[in-house]
Amino acid sequence: MLEADYVVVGSGSAGSALAYRLSEDGRHSVLVIEFGGTDAGPLIQMPSALSYPMNMSLYDWGFRAEAEPALGGRALATPRGKVIGGSSSINGMVYVRGHARDFDTWEEMGARGWAFADVLPYFQRLENAHGGEPGWRGTAGPLHVTRGTRANPLYEAFVEAGVAAGFGRTDDYNGHRQEGFGPMEMTVWKGKRWSTANAYLKPALKRPNVTLMTRTLARRVLFEGRRAVGVEIERGGRIEVVRARAEVILAASSINSPKLLLLSGIGPAAELQAMGIPVVADRPGVGKNLQDHLEVYVQQASKLPVTLNGKLGLFSKGMIGLEWLLTGRGLGATNHFEACAFVRSAAGVDYPDIQFHFLPAAIRYDGKAPADGHGFQVHVGPMRSKSRGAVTLTGHDPRLPPRIRFNYMSTPEDWADFRTAVRLAREVFAQKPFDPYRGREIAPGDNVRSDAEIDAFVRDHVESAYHPCGTCRMGAADDRGAVVDPTAKVIGVEGLRVADSSIFPQVTNGNLNAPSIMTGEKVADHVLGRPPLPRSNAEPWIHPHWATAQR
């Protein structure tokens, strides 16, 4: 019989970190279950090829959310990694911790022990930051965090334009000051995608106490009474059982972790009974509280041929790929998101609620529909939408995809926030540093000016930034809406935890890979019964006049 002390479901951002830390002292055996397979090959490992794996069924679960009424019935893709490294192997490699206030808010929502002072030491433990603010960054962790060369002049133009518009500059948004314009960080090392498979899982697999099962579907958690004792799996057409001597830990994503809990009898009792699933624990919050970030592209034509749009031909792509294969350098060795900004939408907002990713090209995230000629763009969107959705079952067959409903743009504030975001992006592009480059506006287009016109543009073109979270919310043990307690234990049962972005009470500022890895790091200490790392006394920067000034 397959057996280990700890059975981890999912080898992604949190799961790989868990496998590494739980096995580190050699005292415990760890078995990792992954439905996907190998990450070998340039489509994953070459940073600039990032648009390919996200659109390949070999590497992506292929989830699609339900049609959204507020978006004219559009159904948006919800990619999740189906490969070792999980979504860290198919994402855009952007590294953002989140703002200090995000984590303080988590604690206020019942996640005691997850305030910024508590989590900062775990971010520092996981990082090997090449650059950044001394004292705020880790330099000895498994995860290499780097910055691009910013050789393209448009990166500097973007930062200088933000400063010209009256916004501040930040040289390290992962340091004491997130707010402002500055360089963006990426999980790339020596020209290669530095996923959690490369940073954590592969080193862990060199230990005799770690086992990885790929091409293996986790079907449900098995219980004896109210204690989790293993996982029912399917591989090679056979159904088997993996036993956990100590604990089962779900790190299967904000989509698959709630799905597994529901299939295992943990969730809203009425929903489970309607599916014919015996109820193990009535937890009404399972699958609820689904959140995400949305973004639109504000695109500008470039008068000078300095953008990446000149590198989209087959010959240029071939030369970029050849240089990367031979040297690990060049345009293939970056995700091209090398400058960014975090700003506040209005006076009275105490920390940034709008994020900009700048790209020296006018092109869709999936690599399709490039603009004619040269162009550049910013991906922009609000950070803290109040819209909430849910992940529910479509049936009790574990092979069925879940039903995903985000309820995007379901509050008036969502629309107002996007109008502000689009107008701020336009204001930045209108600044003097862009004068040598700025041509016509490609999108939304000069004819899109009024609130109604911007709303229509957003309705037709807004896309997910692929940051789903919140579906197994962490909170106090007596909170009926919470799914896990502050040690990530599933409330109402024993021997079972969840450790991934599904436990986030509220979505963080920015991309979710970094806080997901931090979650795996921190939960590993809870699992092992170790005292938490000492709290930090570092004080984050808050704009001194935030109550009366927007910038």
How is 494-550 classified by DSSP, letter by letter? BSEEE-SGGG-SS--SS-SHHHHHHHHHHHHHHHHTPPPPPPP-------TTTTT--
What are the φ/ψ torsions at residue 31 (nearest 5 degrees)? -120, 125
Q: How far is the C-alpha of 361 from the C-alpha of 370, rounded, in Å?
A: 8
9 is known to lie in a ligand binding site? no
Its pTM stands at 0.98
pLDDT of residue 363: 87
**Which CA distances in Å does 524 have to 19, 222, 488, 497, 545?**
9, 22, 10, 11, 39
Tokens representing residue 464 in the block = 């997910």
Beta-carbon count within 10 A of 343 CB: 25
Site of tokens 């309607």: 274
Query: Which residue reads 């040269």 in tokens?
Result: 374
pLDDT tens for residues 492-532?
999 999 999 999 999 999 999 999 999 999 999 999 999 99
Q: Is 94 annotated as a binding residue?
A: yes
379 is catalytic: no
Does 407 show up as a binding residue in the annotation?
no
Is 83 labelled a binding residue? yes
Of all residues in the chain, what percent are helix, strand and coil, respectively (each to 5)?
30, 25, 45
Q: Give residue 367's pLDDT.
A: 64
Domains of the chain with CATH codes? 2-67+76-528 (3.50.50.60)
pLDDT, tens digit (0-9, with 9 covering 90-100), for 180-196 = 999 999 999 999 999 99
* Active-site hit among 99, 357, 467, 543: 467
Phi and psi angles of residue 311, each rounded to the nearest 5 degrees, phi first: -115, 20
Query: Per the annotation, does 91 bind a ligand?
Result: yes
Q: Kindly give the interhelix angle for 513-528 and 116-126, rounded to the nearest 10 degrees.
A: 100
> In the chain, which residues have pLDDT < 70?
1, 365-371
